[in-house]
Amino acid sequence: MTTVPACEATMNIQKYTIAEQMNTLLDGLGDEEVGLYSAVERKLAAIAAPDVTWRTETGDTGFLRALVGRRRYQLQIEHARFTEYVVVVSARTYGTVLHVSWLLLAAPRLLNDIRRTLRLGADRESRFDIGAELDDFDILDLEAFVAVTRLALRTAIRELSDVAGDEQDHPVLGRLDTV
């Protein structure tokens, strides 16, 4: 059994909408749950992207389910400027394989709802979409944040599985660029 570092906070995943996701199985790496989290954290620290923070948390899908132990450990990655978005990396032993999930979650925030309401140039249908208040530079910065998290996970998978050759041809690593 693997031991995940202690964590204090809990995240209720049902409060978020999944904006993007990727799931994969890593054959023969079922005992590397902690190793994956550590490798992702090492890469994030090496990148040292501004305003990006991360922590290990437990995730649940509701209060009652959490009470009966239906929680999972996950790495939560956030950007200080984009509080509506959270990237979650989750790894779970599933027999001899490691199930890895990468999720970009979004949840509306009141301040951004007000900004979206006051936006004059937007059409009525898209005015209230999450992210509609972002300008072009904000969108580029958000995409950079998301790309950093993908790079960190791709590097961690490569480190754990010792993949040689072109990562674009690898079934797991290549998909992380198109999530």
Task: For residue 137, count other CB atoms closer than 10 A to its CB.
Answer: 8
* pLDDT at site 71: 66
Q: What is the pLDDT of residues 54-90, one digit of tens each?
A: 999 876 555 454 455 556 789 999 999 998 899 999 9
Query: Cα separation of 128 and 112, whole Å?
Result: 9
* pLDDT at site 45: 98
Question: What is the architecture, at CATH level 2, of domain 10-164?
Answer: 2-Layer Sandwich (3.30)
Provide the residue ranges of all domains of the chain, joining segments of one domain with +. 10-164
Question: For residue 35, with 0-12 CB atoms within 10 Å meaning exposed, 13-18 middle and 19 or more buried, which class applies?
Answer: middle
* pLDDT at site 15: 73
Which one, of 82, 80, 87, lies nearest residue 133 by Cα?
82
What DSSP letter does each residue of the chain carry, written as one string? ---PPP---EEEGGGSEEEEEEEEEETT-TT-HHHHHHHHHHHHHHH--TTEEEEEEEEES-HHHHHTT--EEEEEEEETT-TTEEEEEEEEEETTEEEEEEEEEE---HHHHHHHHH-SSS-TTTTTSTTTT--HHHHHHHHHHHHHHHHHHHHHHHHHHT--S-GGGSTTTTGGG--
Query: Cα separation of 5 and 156, whole Å?
Result: 17
Query: Cα separation of 132 and 174, whole Å?
Result: 29
* pLDDT at site 119: 52
pLDDT < 50 regions, the chain: 1-8, 63, 65-66, 111-113, 115-116, 127-128, 164-166, 168, 178-179
* pLDDT at site 96: 93
* pLDDT at site 76: 94
Q: Which residues of 62-101 are buried (b: 16+ CB within 10 A; e: fewer)?
A: eeeeeeeeebbbbbbbbbeebebbbbbbbbeeeeeebbbb
